[in-house]
Amino acid sequence: MKSSQLRRRMLFVWAVLLVGALALAACAPDPAELIISPQLGEQMVARAAGNQIVRAEPTPLPRLADLAPEEITAGLDEEVTAAILNGDLARGEQLALQNACIGCHALDPNATMTGPTWYNIGNVAVGRVPGLSPAAYLHHSIMKPSEYVVPNYVDNLMPKTYEQTLSIQDQGDLIAYLLAQTQE
C-alpha cells in the first residue's frame, strides 16, 4: 500500500473517531432539562407559565439508630426477638469466627470476598428488602440464605444448615453482632 493511501485511511479513521466523539458528547444529559417522571406534565405546565421548577432530593433511607427496637425486630417471633434484643455481641463475634462466616464476609468495605461485606450491615439491612425489618432480613439471610440474594453475588454458596445448627440464642447473638456493625 502506498504512503498516500495509508495517510488517507489514517485521516479517515481519525475523522470517524472525531465525529463519533462529538456525537457521543452531544448525547450527554443536560441536568437542567426535565426528565420523564410522574410529575413531568405539571413541571412542563409550570415551566410554560414561567415558574421555577424545584427539584426534590430523594428521601434518605432511615438508619438503624432512627428505628425503635420493635421496628428493628418486626416480623420475628417473640423468642428470636428476645434473643436479639438480649444478644451478646462478643459471643456473636465468636460465633461468626466459629462458623467461618468471616471466610466469605468482611468488615472492610474495600475487601471483595465471596459474600457481601458486613461493613455497615446494620444500616444496609434497614432498606435491603422493602417491608422487612433489619433483624428479619438478617435472620432470613442466615437461616434461608437463598431467600434474599444480594445483587452480584452467587446463590447456593452459603450453607443452608444454620437453622438446624444454631440455637435461638446463637441466632440472636449473631444477629445482634451484625446489627452492631453500623457506621454513622
Distance CA 145, CA 158 (A): 6
pLDDT in tens, 23-79: 777 776 666 666 677 777 787 788 788 877 666 677 777 899 999 999 999 999 999
* Mean of pLDDT over the chain: 88
23 burial type by CB count under 10 A (0-12 exposed, 13-18 middle, 19+ buried): exposed
Share of the chain above pLDDT 90, in %: 60
Backbone angles phi, psi at 55, to 5 degrees: -90, 130
Question: Letter for the amino acid at 139?
Answer: H
The DSSP symbol for 60 reads: P
Through-space distance between the first and last CA atoms of the chain, rounded to whole angstroms: 65
Q: Which three cell numbers stand for residue 104?
A: 466469605
CATH no. for 64-179: 1.10.760.10
| DSSP per-residue codes, 1-56 | --HHHHHHHHHHHHHHHHHHHHHHHHTS--TTS--SSTTHHHHHHHHHTTPPPPPP
pLDDT band with cut points at 50, 70 and 90 for residue 184: low
Cβ(134)–Cβ(122) below 8 Å = yes
Instruction: Please tell me the predicted confidence (pLDDT) of residue 50.
Output: 81
Q: What is the pTM of this model?
A: 0.68
Domain ranges of the chain: 3-48, 64-179
Residues 6+ apart with CB under 8 A from 123: 61, 63, 64, 182, 183
Could you give the dihedral angle defined by the CA atoms of residues 29, 34, 40 and 46, in that order, rounded to the nearest 10 degrees? Answer: -170
- Crossing angle for the helix pair 168-179 and 89-98, to the nearest 10 degrees: 100
Backbone angles phi, psi at 14, to 5 degrees: -65, -40
Share of the chain above pLDDT 70, in %: 92
pLDDT in tens, 148-176: 999 989 999 999 999 999 999 999 999 99
Among 179, 148, 175, residue whose Cα is nearest residue 63? 179
